[in-house]
Amino acid sequence: MNYKMLFKTVGRLLQAEALFMLLPLAVSVYYNEKLLYVYGIVIAVLLFIGTLLSLPKLETRTIYAREGFLIVSLSWILLSFFGALPFVISGAIPSFVDAFFETVSGFTTTGASILNNIEALPKSILFWRSFTHWIGGMGIIVFVLAFLPQKEMQSMHIMRAEVPGPTVGKLVSKATVTARILYIIYGVFTIAEIVALLLCKMPLFDSVTTAFATAGTGGFSVKNASIAAYNNLGAEIVISVFMLLFGINFNLFYLFLIKQFKRVFKSEELWTYLAVIGTAVLIITANILPSVESLGTALRQAGFQVISIITTTGFVTADFGKWPVLSHMVIVTLMFFGACAGSTGGGLKISRIIILGKSAFHELRRAINPRRVTAIKLDGVVVEKDVVNTTTTFFVIYMVIIGVSALLVSIDNFDLTTTLTSVITCISNVGPGLGSVGPVENFADLSNFSKLVLSADMLIGRLEVFPIMILFIPSTWKKST
């Protein structure tokens, strides 16, 4: 275990968080909120601890997969811990557990909240809250890899631990350049959405924070009623389009830019993603039609909510908690599915669903004809057996964590719907659930214990299980294995 390299990298990430904290500080000054001391204290603490961790001289810069996982998991926990301090020091969220839950929800792009009156918070706090989505969407560690020099092998191990999906590949020969390309695409899309929302007459501050939340597929809004507060069809269409885009594998955007259109349109994951969305919209539209005033309204509500849930953004334009049971079942299914691998969305990922489905069909065919030799393919390419095995293992662990977490949260004695969907929505990084944690409710009434359990679920979901679980394996911490 290369502890010095681990500490040094974590230290640099804390310094990067201090840099990010300058933006809400500037917002605070602009709106004359007199919260300069809040961000000043946090920035000073981050710089001090970050510098302290970076001081030891390195004997070697070499790291392996184990260090990569540890760097990612410890960094996300510490970034959330220190990211919660502005909420506590400013008094916006006095309870540290609540502030930690809100910050983890922000960085993991979940969007679950404990706040009852969002609009009462200072602008700079709201900005930081939404900005955590943007940072966490593509990953703060990917940002550091993109713009700070790193050893190539070191970069790839860290990217594999942070970037969502069954496999992580390089768009170009160097992982650092890959990270840079991803962030450039991410930034351009974010700016494009801000401009589009401004054209829809949304205020500048709201446009920026909404774009941050959309880009990270997070769902934090600066309005108590979320996107429904604007009652703006144009804005809903813009947000829907960008949620859809941010839920697509970013590698496909790069392939599109270099005019490899055949590879883009050959993507099974992309077509499955679009097919699932289309099917879900049709089912829910038909299901809620008798309870709304027109087909247009049903289609508008169903379309927005389906895209919001499958991309795990969690924005709300309708109280889907009041929809029929069939619609609830579709929504919960979408929570599990999630968006595409290599996107900013959460959930199991469409590519994993495809691999699991093909693997199950493959085993059925083998049961019928044991001598038949077949291979599982994705986009016409054979999926390596290790990837299939890892995907199956991931799914099993994912379901076990949901079961254990639901048992722990059930101590609060909420109804089954609330208990189960609170866990599913947090581990899938969606945001709203059903019942007492539904689209017009929040997580404020849960106990501190349950909030910590769900915070762990959000981190596990965002980092895709293994980086967090490896913390609890004793051999991880040995100097040599």
Does the pLDDT of residue 104 top 90, yes or no? yes
- pLDDT at res. 173: 46
Task: List Cβ neighbours of 303 (8 Å cut-off, separation of 6 or more).
Answer: 240, 281, 285
Nearest-angstrom CA–CA distance, 33 and 29: 6
- pLDDT at res. 271: 96
Q: What's the rounded mean pLDDT across residues 442-456?
A: 97
Q: What's the rounded mean pLDDT across residues 195-207?
A: 97
Nearest-angstrom CA–CA distance, 363 and 369: 10
Q: Average the pLDDT over each of 12-16, 153-157, 268-272 and give the range with the smallest value.
A: 153-157
- pLDDT at res. 368: 84
3-state DSSP assignment of residue 365: helix
Which residue is associated with the tokens 């990612």?
72
Which residue is associated with the tokens 């049971």?
325
Beta bridge partners of 377: 382
Nearest-angstrom CA–CA distance, 171 and 254: 8
Does the pLDDT of residue 291 top 90, yes or no? yes
- pLDDT at res. 387: 85
At CA 103, angle to CA 32 and CA 132, rounded to 5?
Answer: 65
Does the pLDDT of residue 67 top 70, yes or no? yes
DSSP state for residue 384 in the 8-state scheme:
P
- pLDDT at res. 153: 44
Q: Average the pLDDT over each of 31-40, 57-66, 69-78, 88-97 and give the range with the smallest value.
A: 57-66
- pLDDT at res. 476: 67
Q: Tens digits of per-residue pLDDT, 69-102?
A: 788 888 899 999 999 999 999 999 999 999 999 9
Nearest alpha carbon to residue 320 among 199, 228, 219: 228
- Band (369; pLDDT cuts 50, 70, 90): confident
- pLDDT at res. 152: 42
3-state DSSP assignment of residue 382: strand
Q: Tens digits of per-residue pLDDT, 388-399?
A: 888 899 999 999
- pLDDT at res. 340: 92
At CA 186, angle to CA 184 and CA 190, rounded to 5?
Answer: 115
Task: List Cβ neighbours of 274 (8 Å cut-off, separation of 6 or more).
Answer: none
Q: Tens digits of per-residue pLDDT, 155-175?
A: 555 555 555 555 545 454 456
- pLDDT at res. 365: 85
- pLDDT at res. 466: 79
- pLDDT at res. 237: 97
**φ, ψ dihedrals at 293, nearest 5°:** -75, -25
- pLDDT at res. 370: 78
- Band (1; pLDDT cuts 50, 70, 90): low
Share of the chain above pLDDT 70, in %: 89
Q: Tens digits of per-residue pLDDT, 168-197?
A: 454 544 567 777 888 889 999 999 999 999
Q: Tens digits of per-residue pLDDT, 205-236?
A: 999 999 999 999 999 999 999 999 999 999 99
Q: For the residues of 320-348, what is the DSSP string, one character each?
A: GGGS-HHHHHHHHHHHHH-S-TTSS--SS
Q: Average the pLDDT over each of 53-57, 336-340, 422-426, 429-433 and give the range with the smallest value.
A: 53-57
Nearest alpha carbon to residue 461 among 136, 236, 174, 229: 136
Task: List Cβ neighbours of 361 (8 Å cut-off, separation of 6 or more).
Answer: none
- pLDDT at res. 465: 81
Q: Would you kindly state where each structural domain of the chain is located, as residue ranges?
A: 385-477
**φ, ψ dihedrals at 381, nearest 5°:** -110, 135
The β-bridge relationship of strands 377-378 and 381-382 is antiparallel
Q: Are 369 and 377 in contact (CB under 8 A)?
A: no
Q: Are 72 and 120 in contact (CB under 8 A)?
A: no
Q: What's the rounded mean pLDDT across residues 280-296?
A: 96
- pLDDT at res. 20: 94
Nearest-angstrom CA–CA distance, 477 and 471: 8
Does the pLDDT of residue 254 top 60, yes or no? yes
- pLDDT at res. 141: 67
Task: List Cβ neighbours of 262 (8 Å cut-off, separation of 6 or more).
Answer: none
Beta bridge partners of 382: 377
Task: List Cβ neighbours of 208 (8 Å cut-off, separation of 6 or more).
Answer: 127, 130, 194
Does the pLDDT of residue 154 top 60, yes or no? no
Mean pLDDT of the chain: 89
Q: What's the rounded mean pLDDT across residues 376-392?
A: 87
Angle, helix 233-246 to helix 295-310, in steps of 10 degrees: 30
